[in-house]
Amino acid sequence: MEAHPPGKVNRRTFLAGTAAAAGGLLAAGVVEQAEAAGRLTSPVRDQVELTFWSHQFTPRETLDKIHIKEFERQNPGVKVNYTTYSEPGYETKLQTAMASGTGPDLFNLYTGVADPLVQGKTVAPVDPQAMGYASLAALKKQYLPGFLDGFTWNNTLYALPTEVSNYALYINKLHFIEAGLNPAKDYPRTWDDIVALSKKLLIVKNGKVLRRGFEFEYATANDWTGTEWDLAGMAYQLGGTVFNHDQTASLVNSPAWVRSLKVYYDFVHTYKLGYPAMPVCSVDFTNGKQGNVSMLLSGYWYAPSVRDTNKTVYKNLMTVQFPRFKDAKHSNGALMYAYAHFVNASSSATKQRLAWKLIETLDSHPAEYLAGAGLLQPRTSLLSSATYRNDPLIKPFLEDARTTPYRPSSTHLSEVQDAIRRAIQRSTQTAVPPQQSLDMAKADIDKILKGV
C-alpha cells in the first residue's frame, strides 16, 4: 500500500470522518426530538397539559385567562396552554393543524367553517358527564330553547357556544336630535324608513360627505361584518332561502333575493345615500367626537369597542331590531352565527374529559362575558342576571335571535359566502343590476355544490 504524504487525508479516513459526522448529527436530532416530545407530554411528572386555541378578541381573552386560572386551581396537575391568533389566518391555521394531527386539545371556532372538521370526524361529541351533568338533556336545559341547534350535526351535539351573534341597528341619538328627530319614536322599523331617515341625516358640504345617515357594508377588503348574511336575512324575511331542500342547487336569484339586493343597489345608485368607497363601521362610528355614521348594523360585541374608544357616542347609543320589509313573510333579523368550543377527537380520553370540564368552567359565566366582552352566551341563567336586565342595548339582539335561523350548515359555506359577497360587490360597486348579479352568483354556487 502506498504511503500517503504526511498532512494529507486519505480517502478511507475522509469517508469515515464524514460518516461519523453525519451519524453524530442524526443522533443529536433524534435525541432532541425525543426530549422535545417528552417535554410536550410530561413537562412535570403526572402533569397534564391542555392546549387551547382561540381567535383574538381582547375583552374575551381577559376573561378566559381569569377562568383558566380558576380551573387550574380547581384541578391541580392540569396546565392550560392558552394561545390566541388573529383572524382571518386563525381558521386556516387551525384547519391545517387539525388535518396534520397537530391541532390543539380544544379550540374556539366560528361554526361556519366547522362543517369539514365535523364531517372529517376530527372533533368529539359533547360529553355531558365530563362537564358534571347527569345527561345530555340536563346539559341542554342550561341553554335557551333552540339555541343549540346551530351546534348539532347529524343529530349529535358537537360544540357549545361561546357566543351567538346577530346584527341589530345601532343608532347615534345625538345625530337624530341634531336633525330634529326623536330617536325614541322616529327610529326605523322598515327598510323604507332607513332610506327616509338617511336622507334627513346625510350631510354633504362642498361635495365632501361629512356624515352618512346609514351605511351597509359593501363587502370591500376592509369590511368586518358578514354583510352577506344581512342580505340573506332580508331575503329570508321575504321567504327566500340559500339552498333548495337537499342542497343540490342554490336559490339566491329568487325574487326575494333580487328585491333584497335591490335595496343595497338603490341605496347607492338610485338614492345616492351609500358610499362603498368610504370605510364603514368601527372607524367612522367612532370617528371624531360624534362619529360620522348615524346608523349601522353590527353585533352586540361592537358595543364594548365603542365604549372603550368614544364615550360620547357610547352614552348616546341605542339599539333597535334589524329592519324588516313592510310585507315580510317572516319576522327575522340577519342570519345568526356563532363561535363555539370544540374538542379534538384525537386527544387522549383524559384530555378530552378535562377539555369538556374546562369548557363548562368558561361557559358558566354568561353575565360576565356579556358585560365584559359583549358576548351573548345563550344560557338560561343570563336572563335572570342583573347584567342582562340592566343592559340597555342587548334586548333587540335577543328578541331577534329568538326568531332568526342560523346560517345554513354546509361543507361549502365559505365558498357560498364568497359567491354572495361578489354579488354584493358587483351590484353596489360596479352597478351590475341585482338580477344579473345574483344569476351569476347562482351559477357559481351551483358549480360549487356540484363539486370537482
Are 123 and 117 spatial neighbours (Cβ–Cβ below 8 Å)? yes
Please identify, using beta-carbon distances, which residue of 45 and 205 lies nearer to other proteins: 205
SS (H, E, C) 335-391: CEEEEEEEEECCCCHHHHHHHHHHHHHHCCCHHHHHHHHCCCCCEHHHHCCHHHHHC
Nearer to other proteins, 268 or 394 (CB): 268
Query: How many other C-beta atoms lie within 10 A of the C-beta of residue 431?
Result: 11
| Cβ 110 to other proteins shortest distance, Å | 12
Which residue, 18 or 248, has its beta carbon nearer to other proteins? 18
Shortest reach from residue 44's CB to other proteins, in Å: 33
Quote the CA–CA distance of 112 and 349 in Å, as a whole number.
27
The distance of closest approach from Cβ of residue 116 to other proteins in the complex, given in angstroms and rounded to an integer, is: 6
User: By C-beta, is 8 or 73 nearer to other proteins?
Assistant: 8
Kindly state the smallest distance separating residue 278's Cβ from other proteins, in Å: 5
CB of 422 to other proteins, least distance (A): 5
CB 306 to other proteins: min, Å: 22
Work out the angle at residue 332's Cα, subtended by the Cα atoms of residues 331 and 333, and round it to the nearest 5 degrees: 140
182 or 222: whose CB is closer to other proteins?
222
Question: For 50, how many CA atoms within 13 A lie in the half-sphere containing its CB?
Answer: 29
Please report how close the Cβ of residue 123 comes to other proteins at its closest, in angstroms.
10
Give the residue with the Cβ less far from other proteins, 190 or 429. Answer: 429
User: Please, what is the minimum distance in Å from the beta carbon of residue 247 to other proteins?
Assistant: 16
Write the CB contacts of 296 (distance below 8 Å, at least 6 apart in sequence).
169, 170, 214, 215, 280, 281, 285
Residue keyed to cell 361629512: 210
Picking from 441, 339, 422, the residue whose alpha carbon sits closest to that of residue 113 is: 339
Closest listed residue to residue 253, CA positions, set 426, 423, 414, 405:
423
Nearest CA to 264 out of 181, 201, 198, 342 is that of 198
Positions that interact with other proteins (CB under 8 A):
11, 14, 18, 92, 95-96, 98-100, 116-117, 119-120, 122, 208-209, 218-222, 275-279, 412, 414-415, 418, 421-422, 425-426, 429-430, 432, 444, 447, 451-452
Instruction: Round the CA-based radius of gyration of the chain to a whole number and report it.
Output: 27
Q: How many helices (H) and strands (E) does the chain have?
A: 20, 12
- Whichever of 40 and 204 has its CB closer to other proteins, that residue is 204
Residues near 118 by Cβ (< 8 Å), separated by ≥ 6? 153, 158
Nearer to other proteins, 24 or 239 (CB): 24
Closest contact distance (angstroms) between CB of 342 and other proteins is 13
- Residue 345: count of CB within 10 angstroms of its CB: 17
Given a contact cutoff of 8 angstroms between Cβ atoms, the answer to whether 380 and 142 are in contact is: yes
Residue nearer to other proteins on the CB measure, 95 or 225: 95
